[in-house]
Copies of this chain bind each other. A is one copy, B any other.
Amino acid sequence: MSLTAREIEVLRIIVQAYIDHAAPVGSRYVAKQSTLKLSAASMRNIMADLTEKGYLHQPYTSAGRVPTDKAFRFYVDTVLSPALLPESTQKDMKESLVQAGLEFSDILEHTSKLISAQSSQVGVAVAPKRSMIRLQRIDLIQVRTGLVMAIAVFDGGVVHNKLLPVEAKVTPDDLVKYSNYLNEKFQGRTIDEIKKNILQEMEQAETRFNALYGRALSLAHEAFGSNNDREVYLEGTLNVLDHIEGKDISSMRELLEFLEHRSAILELVDKLAHNEGLIVTFGTEFYGPELGQWGLISSPYQVQGQKLGVVGTIGPIHMDYSRLMPMVDTIARMLSDLLESRFAE
């Protein structure tokens, strides 16, 4: 069931042509492009074999051939030779990234924009998993009587803050005590750990410690409790409008709906984070045939060997992998380097 060298060559030409022109490829074109010096008729035979093996597809009896998912998979995994990023582009990207600001969320948003600009596609950047980043410190400041703001700063400049209602009798001095206690207790822990700990402690604290600690814990419980879903930064969503082929508006719509559903993206990305480094996934693989026309190039960014989150680009399945794969890879590395220096501080 494996492919001969000749079949691979023909497949390569067809996939490349389809990437370039987004239209079915005919045998005559393949014959012209190929270095194999074969006639169109011979190409037709080879193409018939490839069709039988599931790598090509004919929209109708006598259009040209269109590569299937399987063909793209094969192409990306074994055929493709990635282009080198021009030095100047690399320099531009680095400069752009450095001036992203101090805050983690700004950096990710900026990265997503950068990817979108470089690819003319949708840029994606996903915030770190909550089990990945550790609390540096938590502060509680009184906004006014009965209202407190909790600011939690995590490694690398990740900041969460939340307004919390408190009893009126709580004084600023109390808050200092609370936060000292919480810092002592939770510094260096991840959110997941903290959440688990809080529940354990709360049961004991009420009896074993004084009420002050109990109140501090219940504040923390609220602060870390719910709603803080991880952010997904999508940029250039409108670019999908440029890729509506053959008036296939429903495919575009399907993608936009998928993108609106942030939790689906998180789920996907967490699955991908298991893999090493750069990875290409197709819509059919990660969602279903509805997204058959779309593909995702993604790569985790990491600090100290820990994969924190993922960045990538989403575009039509016939995107320019040879350019975009190194691009995403490079940006993920640059982001990792940038964060590495931030975390070291």
Contacts and interface: CB of A to CB of B under 8 A. Distances in A.
Nearest to A157: B163
Contact of A163 (B137, B149, B159, B253): B159
A146 B143 CA distance: 25
Contact of A241 (B103, B247, B253): B253
A33 B96 CA distance: 62
Contact of A159 (B161, B238, B260): B161
Interface in A86-114: 101-103
B163 A345 contact: no
Interface string A256-284: 11001000000000000000000000000
B149 A143 contact: no
Contacts of A137: 143
A171 B159 CA distance: 21
Contacts of A141: 139, 141, 151
Interface string A146-158: 1101010100010
A134 to B, nearest CB: 13
A249 interface: yes
30 contacts: A102-B163, A102-B164, A102-B165, A103-B163, A136-B143, A136-B144, A137-B143, A139-B141, A141-B141, A143-B153, A143-B157, A144-B345, A147-B157, A147-B345, A149-B151, A151-B151, A157-B163, A159-B161, A159-B163, A161-B161, A238-B253, A238-B256, A238-B257, A238-B260, A241-B249, A241-B253, A241-B256, A244-B249, A247-B247, A249-B249
